[in-house]
Amino acid sequence: MDKGNVIEGRPGSPSYAIGKLFVYERKTYRPLHVKAEDTSFELKRYERARQDAIDSLSIAYERINNRAGARNAEIFKAHTMILKDEEYNARVINNILTDEMNAEWAVSDAGRYFYEFFNALEDESVSAKATDIKDVTNKLIRLLTGTDNSPEINEPVILASPYLTPSELVQIKRDNLKGIVMLEGSLYSHVVILARTVGIPVVLGVYMPESLTGHEAIIDGVNGQVFTDPDPELKDKYGRLIEEEARADCELKKYIGLETVTGYGRKVNLYANIAGLNDAEYAMECDCEGIGLIRTEFMFLDRDTLPTEEEHFNAYKEIVELCAGKRVVFRTLDLGSDKGGTLLDLKEEENPALGKRGIRVCLTNKELFIAQLKGILRAAAYGDVSVMYPMITSGGEILRIDHMMEQAMEELDREGVPYGEVRQGIMIETPAAAMISDELAAMVDFFSIGTNDLTQFTLALDRQNRELAQFYNPMHEAVMRMIQLTIDNAHEEGIPVTVCGELASDPDAIKHLVDMGVDALSVSPKSVLKVRKAICEM
């Protein structure tokens, strides 16, 4: 019997989906040609890119307006105004017609001219426009050079791609994503973690050619298989599995409202890891006891511009209010060149995991960091807020953070803006931090162990590399000893420890972590009730 074509891969997120395939391949870069061969053709290219940019900004405006309100969406209107600005357009057109530049070069030149003009102005309210001009210009250049990548999806599909960056993923409406098939990536890639957060099935290690777009497929994220053009019998079978899954989720609901406590009476706090407001709603439905990790970078990856203090504040306040008094831990931006996006002009790096990322980005972009800290402090006036810092390796970094935190508070005091108290913690996700956790414990209010990175760095093994999946072992004796050392040092100082890496929801690890003395686990919302069940049954 013909069941359809089965392609074997690896499980990424354990769930099932039936749907239409959409294959997305990132376009590659076209080099700049300075001299226009046909000026009227270049003019048309410019006009088309300008219109595409206006259209995409209008979509972005609607999306952010619905999700985070008009104030957060304002930036897209400002960018549209630049695209419609007479002087900006006149300069580009003149560059093409008179100086015979090609469209991308003409845009780049105009952008530089206006950027320098506004940047030189004393008046801050006007000079801020320089950044907007740079962003708009970059957007146009990406459109003209075919590097403005994001899959355009307008209906629910199974998305297949050789590799997706987190910034591409966050641009897709969640309702339109039934499942993901990727060639590259691993269980610990951020895209896969984000999909697991909300229970979207993922199969890894499978390449799908673009010709399969529009074909029907089944993805089985439990066994790591993709079936293309499945026959009705197979569709029935997976239809039943999807129903069973929904029933099992329903069964777990009896753990809603229960305390997370072992049979022998040990209480473990159970928090959720989220990437934004939508996840927070889902996490609350899953009855988490708070939010143990907000990966704040994902809230801003779908845009070109750095968030202002006001935007940070508005976005965080909504989450804090939604959590209605439950604990909320904001992790400051853990940006790096591996996450994609154009938020910061981070150069591509040979080793992005070891590169300019996490706290290194924040400590070297003072303005960005202070704006975020002020946003978090202000949101803290509305609930129980903590802040934690990623990729810490030394006490010196904590001193520098403290200094910036003081500055953020001083600025708010001076401006007369109200803010709340925040507890400050650090991620223990580098071997360095684990090894000196005795020293670090005396400097902060809590630890959160990021086992995804801690494993990657301890085993010297790229967490994203699909070829290495069989060697990636977060329960390696070396990692477990570092976790134990961290817990012991924290407790010696009287501070609590959460584990927030993927290990916290691994059925084989939960008991070990609880026995090792961990105070809290922070897991994807989808896993909250499963983990509570596992702990209650201990």
Positions that interact with ligand PEP (CB under 6 A): 193, 295, 334, 429, 450-453, 500-501
Of these partners, Mg ion, ligand PEP, none, which one is at the site of residue 500 (CB under 5 to 8 Å by kind)? ligand PEP
**Rounded to whole angstroms, what are the CA distances from 286 to 108, 222, 252, 348?**
48, 21, 10, 38
CA R_g for the chain: 24
CB of 165 to Mg ion, least distance (A): 16
- If the CB atoms of residues 191 and 206 are measured against ligand PEP, the closer one turns out to be 191
500 annotated active-site: yes
The Cα 114–Cα 87 span in angstroms is 9
CB of 182 to ligand PEP, least distance (A): 17
Based on the shown chain and the rule CB under 5 A, indicate whether residue 220 belongs to the binding site for Mg ion: no
- If the CB atoms of residues 500 and 529 are measured against Mg ion, the closer one turns out to be 500
Amino acid identity at 442 = A
- If the CB atoms of residues 76 and 188 are measured against Mg ion, the closer one turns out to be 188
The Cα 359–Cα 427 span in angstroms is 10
Give the closest residue to 168 by CA, choosing from 153, 156, 154: 153
CB of 474 to ligand PEP, least distance (A): 9
Say which of 286, 288, 362, 500 is annotated catalytic.
500
Within 397-456, which residues bind Mg ion (CB under 5 A)?
429, 450, 453
The Cα 338–Cα 344 span in angstroms is 12
Of these partners, Mg ion, ligand PEP, none, which one is at the site of residue 289 (CB under 5 to 8 Å by kind)? none
Of these partners, ligand PEP, Mg ion, none, which one is at the site of residue 295 (CB under 5 to 8 Å by kind)? ligand PEP
Q: Which residue is nearest to ligand PEP (CB)?
A: 450
CB of 396 to ligand PEP, least distance (A): 21
Of these partners, Mg ion, ligand PEP, none, which one is at the site of residue 501 (CB under 5 to 8 Å by kind)? ligand PEP
Within 467-526, which residues bind Mg ion (CB under 5 A)?
none
Kindly state the tokens that stand for 253.
């609901």
- For Mg ion (CB under 5 A), the number of binding residues is 3
Based on the shown chain and the rule CB under 5 A, indicate whether residue 462 belongs to the binding site for Mg ion: no
Which strands form 5-8's sheet, in the order they lie side by side? 5-8, 225-228, 216-220, 16-23, 157-161, 177-182, 202-204, 10-13
Of these partners, Mg ion, ligand PEP, none, which one is at the site of residue 297 (CB under 5 to 8 Å by kind)? none
Kindly state the tokens that stand for 361.
């980005």
CB of 231 to ligand PEP, least distance (A): 39
First to last CA, the chain: 45
Say which of 33, 79, 190, 312 is annotated catalytic.
190
CB of 522 to ligand PEP, least distance (A): 8
- If the CB atoms of residues 144 and 204 are measured against ligand PEP, the closer one turns out to be 204
- If the CB atoms of residues 220 and 429 are measured against ligand PEP, the closer one turns out to be 429
Q: What angle do CA 277, 278, 279 make, to 5 degrees?
A: 90
476 annotated active-site: no
What does 35-61 look like in DSSP terms, one character per residue? B-S-HHHHHHHHHHHHHHHHHHHHHHH
Which residue carries 């209650």 as its tokens?
536
Contact 315, 72 (CB under 8 A): yes
- If the CB atoms of residues 221 and 501 are measured against ligand PEP, the closer one turns out to be 501
Q: Which residue is nearest to Mg ion (CB)?
A: 453
**Rounded to whole angstroms, what are the CA distances from 41 to 148, 349, 408?**
20, 36, 51
- If the CB atoms of residues 15 and 452 are measured against ligand PEP, the closer one turns out to be 452
CB of 300 to ligand PEP, least distance (A): 15
Of these partners, Mg ion, ligand PEP, none, which one is at the site of residue 451 (CB under 5 to 8 Å by kind)? ligand PEP
Contact 409, 381 (CB under 8 A): no
Q: Which helix (H) or strand (E) holds 356?
A: none
468 CB-near residues (< 8 Å, 6+ apart) = 186, 461, 462
Which residue carries 């890894």 as its tokens?
204
- List beta partners, residue 427: 448
Instruction: List contacts with Mg ion (CB under 5 A).
Output: 429, 450, 453
Kindly list the catalytic residues: 190, 500
